[in-house]
Amino acid sequence: MKKVLLFAIIGILGITLFASAATLTQRLSGYILLQVQANGEAWYVNPTDSMRYYMKDGAVAYQMMRDFGLGITDADLAKIPAVSSTSAMNASASICSINTTANRLKGKILIQVQQHGEAWYIYPKTCRSIYMKDGQAAYEIMRFLGLGITNNDLTLIPVNQNSGTTPTASTPTTAIKFEGRYIDVHLHITPIAMSLADIIKNMDAQGMDMAVIMKPPASIIDTPQSTSGIPDAAVQYPDRFIALYGGEAVTMLEKAATSGSYTKADEEKYTSLLETEMKSGQYKGFGEIGLRHFVPAGDKNPTAYDLTIPGDHPWMFIMSDIAAKYDVPIDIHMEATDETVKGLESLLDHNKNTKIIWDHASWSNTDQATPALISQLMTKHPNLYSSIKIRSENSTSAVYIYDNKGQITSEWLTLLKKYSDRFMIGSDIKPGRNADEFLIIKTHRNFLEQLPSEILKPIERDNAIKLFKIN
């Protein structure tokens, strides 16, 4: 205790009392602050929103690792030198000015997504990393590296409402509730029909913080990607859009699978296109790939044709290997049949490092993509993810996520709890193509409102943040 106090007092001297709130927050971003004029309560200044969060104990520290942990690849993590203990950390020199990766991530908690979710803290003072085994270790390490702060200075840094129990309150930790904002991982936009500014205005109104955009599969009129705002929207507004690649190579894939033939030269071109596009850094995945796409029944002017790309098609394996190489996911549209599920399993097995998002959970034309099937596949394949699309046309189907009272069914709830790290929202709305598309978001928000607090954040945004490496 005395040691903590001593460190705390040294810390206070380092803080300029007259610094403005903004400069102070900026300077202390990513640090743990210890309230030395009270009982040494610890606050984490989250670099992402510049707000402070009360870190009551090891359990709260664990929750913080889950909520704020940013996914990082092994390759990126390797760029940041690690120290083995807090004393080694205090003895080491700062590398912030020479290590750009570490400098960008300083003060953040990183999660090793290619391993088993190991957590690391990048100490903002030295820009070096330290491993945190669990919540208790995180609590002790971050506290030990903390800075003392006066009550006066602390009040200059805003408290986040979700910060849990504050030291003055004696109530138990408040449940995490849906606050109306989320990340949507499946959108098809048409900027020539609705401007990007208008799309963003609607996103704001619906609480959609970010949207993953992609070209739809099996388009009858094979419009260029740019008509779908890809990757332009993501280049113009990188904090609102993430683009998946579905351009020329994907059209080649659809043709090769439909005709059943291709040449060696075709395959070389296909492979090099996928490589080049991923290397460009403009895309964070492949999609939407139509392993099985139906012509909508009763559609007088169908925009899509009937498409089958076997999951074990050699070119799917090529795409899978390139996706693993660049650590990006593949978004799959697949009506479930015995045969297509078998193909998907081959694809999942081909390269276990490739993350596959089987989109449109709770939606189907075959009624076979039931929670029971998804559960079985997720158990067998840790690289299988899913995005949820809710439409009332499926309300009588065995795949539907709601019961007849509009509540999440118990079977679905069990599955969502079991694999809360694999599900995301992917509304599949088409702003600019259909009128009032944004109204469809309402039912997805209603779904998030119903989620129990322990699984809300991963499904609302954290899984998307990790999968698409959103900073």
Residues at the interface with Zn ion (CB under 5 A): 333
In the complex with Zn ion, the residue whose CB is nearer, 96 or 440, is: 440
CB 331 to Zn ion: min, Å: 8
* β-strand partners of 109: 121
In the complex with Zn ion, the residue whose CB is nearer, 240 or 333, is: 333
CB 368 to Zn ion: min, Å: 16
CA dihedral 380, 382, 365, 391 (to 10 degrees): 140
Tokens found for residue 284: 């964070």
CB 279 to Zn ion: min, Å: 26
What is d(CA 115, CA 458) in angstroms, rounded to the nearest whole number?
18
CB 217 to Zn ion: min, Å: 7
CB 304 to Zn ion: min, Å: 9
DSSP type of residue 129:
E
In the complex with Zn ion, the residue whose CB is nearer, 126 or 340, is: 340
Q: Is residue 76 within 8 Å of residue 69, measured between CB atoms?
A: no
In the complex with Zn ion, the residue whose CB is nearer, 71 or 290, is: 290
CB 416 to Zn ion: min, Å: 21
Question: Is the alpha carbon torsion for 413, 417, 421, 422 positive or negative?
Answer: negative
- Exposed, middle or buried by CB within 10 Å (0-12, 13-18, 19+), for 296? exposed
Q: Residue 186 corresponds to which amino acid?
A: H
In the complex with Zn ion, the residue whose CB is nearer, 333 or 445, is: 333
In the complex with Zn ion, the residue whose CB is nearer, 333 or 381, is: 333
What is d(CA 449, CA 453) in angstroms, rounded to the nearest whole number?
9
CB 188 to Zn ion: min, Å: 8
The residue of the chain with the least Cβ separation from Zn ion equals: 333
User: CB 116: neighbour CB atoms within 10 A?
Assistant: 7
Closest listed residue to residue 469, CA positions, set 328, 308, 313, 261: 328
Which residues have a Cβ under 8 Å from the Cβ of 76 and sit 6 or more positions away? 101
In the complex with Zn ion, the residue whose CB is nearer, 135 or 246, is: 246
What is d(CA 241, CA 212) in angstroms, rounded to the nearest whole number?
6
